[in-house]
Amino acid sequence: MQFRHHTASQKWHLSMSERIEALIKERGRMYGDAIDNFTAVGRGWGAILGVDDIPPHQIALMMDWLKTVRCAYNPSHEDSWQDKLGYSELGKRIALDES
């Protein structure tokens, strides 16, 4: 299988972990601290569902699943794959920090 370069701006010289870290930092600049953001989302989703606040690491899992569904529907949409990796990494970091 051959992989094609999707965008000219992709930094292919970076390792996968460096690309994920760059994505997390970029999204952090756009949306704020991940734990603060996931905590707010968990509070809101919990209120909508009539349950206690949903913990941040579970929000990361839920967002990862959202991206999984989007990847299944449109597997050529690179942004969804990148976001999926970012949510997975953030979920791991938050879960390990919570324990």
pLDDT in tens, 24-54: 999 999 999 999 999 999 999 999 999 999 9
Tokens 């999984």 belong to residue: 68
Q: Please name the helix (run of DSSP H) or strand (run of DSSP E) that holds residue 26, with its range, or none.
A: helix 16-31
41, part of any domain: yes
40, part of any domain: yes
Q: Residue 51 gets which letter from DSSP?
A: S
8, part of any domain: no
- Which domain covers residue 47, as residue numbers? 16-98
79, part of any domain: yes
54, part of any domain: yes
Q: What is the DSSP string of 52-82?
A: SPPPHHHHHHHHHHHHHHHHHH-TT-HHHHH
Give the count of domains, the chain.
1
7, part of any domain: no
Per residue in 63-81, pLDDT (tens digit) is 999 999 999 999 999 999 9
Task: Give residue 49's identity as a one-letter amino acid code.
Answer: L
Which pTM was predicted?
0.80
Q: 14-20: long-range contacts (C-beta < 8 A, 24 or more apart)?
A: 16/85, 19/82, 20/85, 20/86, 20/89
11, part of any domain: no
